[in-house]
Amino acid sequence: MFAAVTAVSAQNASFHNAPADADAKAPPPLSPADVDAGKATYVQRCAACHGLNAKGVANIPSLATGPTQSAKPGEVFWYITKGDLSNGMPSWATTLTDEQRWQVVGYLKSLGGGGAAPAAAAPAAAPEAAKFDAPPPTAPFTDFRFEKPGLTRKVTLADLPKPFATESAGNPARMVPRPEGAWPQAPEGFKVQLYTTGLTNPRLIRTAPNGDFFVAETSKGEIHVFRGITADGKPQEDSVFATGLNKPFGIAFYPQGPNPKWVYIGNLDSVVRFPYKNGDLKATAAPEHIAGIPGGRGHTTRDVRFSLDGKKMWVSVGSGSNVDDPDTTPAEKDRADILEFNPDGSGRRIYAYGIRNCVGEEVNPKTGELWCSVNERDGLGDNLVPDYITSVKPGGFYGWPWWYMGGHQDPRHEGKHPELKDKVITPDVLLNPHNASLQMTFYEGKQFPAEYAGDIFAAEHGSWNRSARVGYEVIRVPLHGTGHATGEYQDFLTGFVLPSGQVWGRPVGVTVAHDGALLVTDDGTNSIWLVTYTGGGAKTGR
């Protein structure tokens, strides 16, 4: 459990309840070459989650500081061998040899603890040429090898396997620098350009009423603004709007319409707002505290949207864990919920619940409904539980943690809350399980072909809990001009995974520019991609 980790104290409790003899098997003497080898393994296997500098990313703990530094080497070795799958830490028992695990421990310990800055991480080791080969997936489930712009997919309740039909995989992204020639792939007639790069952990992106793009650089605690798109697809101006925020993610302009007075930001544990008028590139005052929201361990993204009538603010707060029961784990109270407030922060209530992690919120401009792009739970096997995109029913219950779609009980909560079984809402669009569906937006632009009008685009950050990677793409949910989904979705922007299975890019955010182009943030390359429709000709442009 996330909570248990915080309770570990260096002096008297063991690290993650490691057995007393965990350190008895003293590490073999490690040479500097071993530490270097440990670093290479770290960069390939661990950095995607714990960060290149091992200081943690979002809800993933720092290893360069904190308990990992105060624990005994044997305890760290024991823990990484076993992992803690239900909380998102893979087991490395079979993927790394004993020697490699000791080398990684050696490398982590060389980071010195006490907050000392680790040496800059080396670039990833040379990509392994070997092609990932596993049997092909059974439709409607897929994996990166079969994702292709324009392909339509539909997952239904009838497709769901039983829990544990396959093992729970620990297969996180193995990040490599973007190889020469690798580029995001869009459907015929679209062109993809690199809008900007060199950001730090770019996450959510939103278009301001005046057309500027606001981007949350979450791990840095900053909000960045980009202005304009030059003829060769670059920003005309950029500026840091605000610094010193606590894991900012959600961004919302208020009141809606052409002349907002504030920009609201979803921090880890609060909603704050800055005074804002069109054209501001820097905040002109300190943030005003609007509402406290549950922070703590686990999912950190807090998106913020306003109802079309401007009367309500909806804030999404993901769960602290994969599976913990809010009845018995106080830290889960008011999490895995959409919280509703008045725009001044008063009037808090639960708008919808049992939504494990609604990372991206958006209000459907046609119907006024709140929609969510949701990360469902892990640990039940390759093809469970589907992530989803859905309109959110006021007061609705989406199942977590006791149930999931279709009235299925999570086997880890057998027998609990039978009265909720029939309340579990089936989401509008079931995605491939473990896709990691992040920000979503409705396409209200005029540039793309007419059949895209009103459709949803969503960023799929990509799986870790699946034996063959899935996600790592931008998808389109066609609404056929109705404002409602049919359950289908399509691959739209793919190509972030190499044939070897190594990953160079990970989509996080999507927004539509005033000229109708689509911008996509990518925290793998720390870039923003620009997707335009050219009506044919080159698919990619540099």
Binding site for ligand HEC (CB under 6 A): 2, 5, 45-46, 48-50, 60-61, 63, 66-68, 76, 79-80, 84, 87-90, 92, 104, 172, 464
Q: Looking at beta carbons only, is 66 or 294 nearer to ligand HEC?
A: 66
Q: Looking at beta carbons only, is 104 or 438 nearer to ligand HEC?
A: 104
Q: How far apart are CA 43 and CA 100, in angstroms?
A: 13
Q: How far is the CB of 198 from ligand HEC (least distance, A)?
A: 24
Which residue, 462, 441, 446, 432, is CA-closest to 523? 462
CB hemisphere CA count around 141 (13 angstroms): 24
Q: Looking at beta carbons only, is 73 or 509 nearer to ligand HEC?
A: 73
Q: Looking at beta carbons only, is 90 or 260 nearer to ligand HEC?
A: 90
Q: How far is the CB of 321 from ligand HEC (least distance, A)?
A: 8
Question: Do 294 and 353 form a contact (C-beta atoms < 8 A)?
Answer: no
Q: How far is the CB of 20 from ligand HEC (least distance, A)?
A: 18
> Where are the alpha helices (H) located in 253-385, listed in sequence order?
none
Q: How far is the CB of 335 from ligand HEC (least distance, A)?
A: 14
| Cβ within 8 Å of residue 338, ≥6 positions away | 314, 315, 316, 317, 350, 351, 352, 353, 355, 358, 361, 370, 372, 392
Q: Looking at beta carbons only, is 215 or 384 nearer to ligand HEC?
A: 384
Question: Do 195 and 233 form a contact (C-beta atoms < 8 A)?
Answer: yes
Q: Looking at beta carbons only, is 108 or 474 nearer to ligand HEC?
A: 108
135 alpha carbon, distance to own chain's centre? 27
Helix, strand, coil % over all residues of the chain, rounded to 5: 15, 25, 55
**H or E stretch including 116?**
none
Q: How far apart are CA 224 and CA 233, in angstroms?
A: 18
Q: Looking at beta carbons only, is 127 or 260 nearer to ligand HEC?
A: 127
Q: Looking at beta carbons only, is 86 or 239 nearer to ligand HEC?
A: 86
Q: How far is the CB of 167 from ligand HEC (least distance, A)?
A: 15
Q: Looking at beta carbons only, is 60 or 308 nearer to ligand HEC?
A: 60
Question: Do 194 and 233 form a contact (C-beta atoms < 8 A)?
Answer: yes
**H or E stretch including 107?**
helix 98-110
Q: How far is the CB of 89 from ligand HEC (least distance, A)?
A: 3
Q: How far is the CB of 205 from ligand HEC (least distance, A)?
A: 23
Q: How far is the CB of 209 from ligand HEC (least distance, A)?
A: 37
Q: How far apart are CA 435 and CA 382, in angstroms?
A: 11
Q: How far apart are CA 451 and CA 474, in angstroms?
A: 17
Q: How many CB atoms lie within 10 A of CB 350?
A: 12
151 burial type by CB count under 10 A (0-12 exposed, 13-18 middle, 19+ buried) = middle
Q: How far is the CB of 12 from ligand HEC (least distance, A)?
A: 16
